[in-house]
Chain A
Amino acid sequence: MDVLLSGQLLFAALITGALYALIALGLNLVYGTMRLLNVAHGDLVMIGAYVAFWGLTLFGLSPIAGLVVAAAAGALLGWLTYLGLFRRLLASPQLMRRLEGNSLLLFFGISVILQNLAAMAFTASARGYQFMDQVYRFGDVALTGNRIFVLVTAVTICAAVYLLLRFHVFGLAIKALIERRDAAVIVGVDIDRVQIAAICLGFAIAAIAGVLVSTTEQISPFMGFPFTISAFVVIILGGLGNITAGLIAGLLLGVLEVYGVALTSAAYRSVLIYGVFIGILLIRPQGLLGRGSVVR
């Protein structure tokens, strides 16, 4: 019982949840604004992780600076992907009708390419480094420095994006695009610019999440897929395209995982996560805070 009430478990739940929320945020931005099913999202996390690793190993760059470099790399990749692949897709009414299916295939291809390029360039061996691994004790709770770093960064970025979407005119434009695309065009939102911004932001956030992951775990070219899966679970749970709901769902999933495991046993981790996921979808198919119908 005292494990359940302990600060240690709360901290673990917050970290897990914050990371889920951050990764899902990037995916939600891309899906919400453009209905693109980015199954390469986890591989963007992998790219960010490698940027941090090589930054540290080759140039002695701290992962804190690595955050900025990875974000830039992610944004660049997003920009290139948009210009090269999706701009035409999104502009043509015929192609828009099968957008989700086409984007799934395109992103699947991108995923395979990214994974194999990374494996060829860096070899498939696991890599890793230590960063801020001293343990700080606050009463009963012990926190490793890098985990505090992950929590603080993830929360800051989620909060910043939330505020951007709420108060800045560009954020409002993104929300408008998510809500009703044709109405956004009518009121004069520059769709092209907003889409580029959304995809760059989404990819950059994924890369930042990758840097955070690399400070606590080992990395390898094929590490991305589990992150893609959990990101999709989170955004579907919250409601596709609903950014705030995605953040809440991410946190919820982290809490569920850590406390659920503490209540039952570690062996039930997957059963808990996917069981609750299926349960919620059966009761509320649009997700916890999703709208009644999905705008196509």
Chain B
Amino acid sequence: MNRRDLIAGAVLAASIGLGAGSALAADPVRIGFSIAKTGLFADAAPSQLNAYELWREQVNAAGGLDVAGTKRPVEFVSYDDQSNPGQAVRIYEKLITDDKVDLVLAPWGTPHHFALAPVLEKYKFPMVGNSAASAQLREIKPGYIWFPTSAIPDKIGPELAAMMKANKVTSVALISSVLPFSKEIKSFLLPALKKEGIELRVNEEYPPTTKDMTAMLTAVKKAKPDAIVALSYPSDSVLFAKQAKEIGLEAPFDFVLVGPTMDFYQKVVGSSANNIVTVGHWSPYRADWTKAKPFYDAYVKRFNEIPDHLDSALAYISCEILQQAVAKAGLDKEKLREVISTTTFDTINGPVQFKGVENVSTPTAFLQIQGDKIELVWPASIQTAPYRPKTSW
């Protein structure tokens, strides 16, 4: 035997020895997902990604994910879907068939969730959704996808009208972005306003690229409504607040759709944000949701900003649901599907139970910015603070 054979033999023996040794450490659970790191939604997706990261760190710090009795560390396999639903579909197919991940988490955005439903059906791979809201989700065949949000347009419309009526609103000015979520809500809000007998004084739409609302808001000011509803997205939500302040709008009830629950909003508009009502069903101040405040504090500590009370909360809830389901059912897909469809989960938002694809435990609710806190003000069943009228911008 010459020297080369000796060395080769030694290396072979060593690698076998090492291979045998590593089988003793727990295999990580690989969880795959795509997220919008670039493109149109890139400035909204971080609130979801941060919640995922926080959950992973917390789980690993506690020893790992409980997989039907065995604790295994969590590892993420993630890709950038460039805010493109088609790309998300390709990525999830790759995750399932090529990367062979054990579990999946959801991407950001309603169109992405909808695009994935058939893929999950095809591979019989369950996924708990989060940042998706549309009345169309009721048409998705129950199977391998679930939606924990209660901010669904066909409920938001009537609930908002009811809340305004309960707060003595008799007239409203409505300005709306032409993006799908805003338009969907508007289509359910208009008949609800009629039903509650609230007069619609201004009804305007604007493109998402708008840079100036002077003409529109001057018309709103002239109409002197009791309420102003802005079905806006983050950039126009900021524009609305700033120009409302400049022009001097005076309605006591002001609703802004997307934006106020995000950290940057109050940093940009300052005290104008005070008493703005927005959509959301989670607040850290609900005492009987024992995990809510700890999540809030942990998020603030880790990322130096407040969690988005809508997207970050939902993303974390979807992780909690997955975690509790895996603890019961392990990684078997059909068992997981069974467990997710039937169990009541204990989350930072209280109990969550699905009937079909929809969460039936959480009511459609509204939040209000009150000073440096964001409180739940409607409905009374989960309220954390009473609604306050807006006195100034």
Contacts and interface: CB of A to CB of B under 8 A. Distances in A.
Interface string B194-238: 000000000011110111111110110000000000000011001
Contacts of A119: 37-38, 42
Contacts of A216: 242
B206 A269 contact: yes
Given A125-B263, A126-B262, A269-B207, A143 B43 contact: no
Contacts of A127: 264, 267
A124 B212 contact: no
Interface in A207-234: 216-218, 220-222, 226
Contacts of A262: 214-215
Interface residues of A, number: 39
Interface stretch (B151-159, B166-174, B243-251, B373-381): B243-251
B204 A266 contact: yes
Interface stretch (A3-11, A79-87, A165-173): A3-11
Given A8-B214, A8-B218, A135 B205 contact: no
A144 B245 CA distance: 8
A146 to B, nearest CB: 9
A135 B212 contact: no
Contacts of B216: 261, 266
Contact of A257 (B43, B211, B242): B211
B45 interface: yes
Contacts of A6: 218
A195 interface: no
Interface string A79-112: 0000000000000000000000000000000000
A16 B43 contact: no
Given A8-B218, A16-B211, A119-B37, A128 B248 contact: no
Question: Which of A128, A258, A262, A266 is most buried by chain B, counting CB atoms within 10 A of its CB?
Answer: A266
Contact of A3 (B219, B235, B264): B219
Chain B contact patch, size range? 35 or more
A267 interface: yes
Nearest to A258: B212
Contacts, number: 115
B46 interface: yes
A128 B245 contact: no
A262 B235 CA distance: 21
Contacts of B45: 124
Contacts of B175: 266
B269 interface: yes
Contacts of A125: 43, 46-47, 263-264, 305
Contact of A221 (B42, B211, B215, B238): B42
A112 to B, nearest CB: 9
Interface of B: 37-40, 42-47, 175, 178, 204-207, 209-216, 218-219, 234-235, 238-239, 242, 245-248, 262-264, 267-270, 305
A267 B207 contact: yes
6 contacts: A6-B218, A128-B264, A130-B268, A142-B247, A142-B248, A266-B216
Contact of B246 (A9, A129, A142): A142
A133 interface: yes
A128 B272 CA distance: 14
B239 A217 contact: yes
A33 interface: no
Given A126-B44, A258-B215, 20 more contacts: A3-B215, A16-B212, A116-B38, A124-B43, A124-B45, A125-B47, A128-B264, A128-B268, A129-B267, A129-B268, A144-B242, A216-B242, A217-B268, A218-B235, A222-B40, A257-B211, A258-B212, A266-B205, A267-B178, A269-B207
B248 A135 contact: yes
B58 to A, nearest CB: 20
Interface in A7-49: 8-9, 12, 16
Interface centre among A124, A127, A142 (most CB of B within 10 A): A124
A270 interface: yes
A153 interface: no
Interface in A251-282: 257-258, 261-262, 265-267, 269-270
A127 B39 CA distance: 16
Given A218-B264, A266-B210, A124 B215 contact: no
Which of the listed residues B38, B178, B215 has the most CB atoms from chain A within 10 Å of its own CB? B215
B42 A130 contact: no
A133 B270 contact: yes
Contacts of B262: 126
A128 B270 CA distance: 10
A218 B46 CA distance: 15
B218 A9 contact: yes
A266 B206 contact: yes
A175 interface: no
A115 interface: yes
B218 A128 contact: no
B260 to A, nearest CB: 13
A270 B234 contact: no
Contacts of B40: 222
B42 A222 contact: yes
Contacts of A257: 211-212
Contact of A222 (B39, B207, B263): B39
Contacts of A124: 37-38, 42-43, 45-46
Contacts of A156: none
B38 to A, nearest CB: 7
B172 to A, nearest CB: 18
Contacts of B215: 3, 9, 258, 261-262, 266
Interface in A137-191: 142-144, 147
A222 B80 CA distance: 15
Nearest to A259: B215
A127 B46 CA distance: 12
A9 B214 contact: yes
